[in-house]
Amino acid sequence: MEPFAAGYLVMIGAAAVLGVFIGAIGGALGWRLRLTTLALVLSVLAFVLYLFIEHGGRHLWLGAELIFGLPPLLFAFLAASISARSLAGRTSLRPGWVALLAFGIANLAGALCLLLFRIGPGALLKGAISADLLILVLLVLMTRRRRG
């Protein structure tokens, strides 16, 4: 039973890492193209499509990979989006460099979030979902402050 459990942990860990990478790309490109909502939807679709293609159309493990991959994807997406907004507002860098820096910051933040996987898969889920909610509140506050 242990090899099966180890394989399961590797599979969901790989899905979480892939989620961070796709979320960072989507967040940086979404900010750069000014299509944040569309970029989020396309990032989630790309993640699901990649997982579906990776397993050859079998969707036996797709649910587990989505459960453990989507919260880190959303975390990295939001981290890239909020860091790009902050960098663009506080520096005089060109938008391409801001997007590249936001991609790097989101990958770094996502890697730090994935360290929770050392404690256990449940800690990763709880930590990523809590961070997602916190960043969403911060993003809403930043948007209201800009408009008001």
List, for residues 117-139, the tens digit of each pLDDT value.
Answer: 889 888 988 998 999 999 888 87
Classify residue 25 by burial, with Cβ atoms within 10 Å: 0-12, 13-18, 19+. buried
Side-chain half-sphere exposure of 113, counting CA atoms within 13 A: 35
pTM value is 0.89
pLDDT at 147: 66
Please, which pLDDT band fits residue 148 given cuts at 50, 70 and 90?
A: low
By C-alpha distance, which of 64, 37, 38, 36 is closest to 51?
64
Averaged pLDDT, 8-35: 93
Query: Would you say residue 99 has pLDDT above 80?
Result: yes
Averaged pLDDT, 57-80: 89
Query: Would you say residue 5 has pLDDT above 80?
Result: no
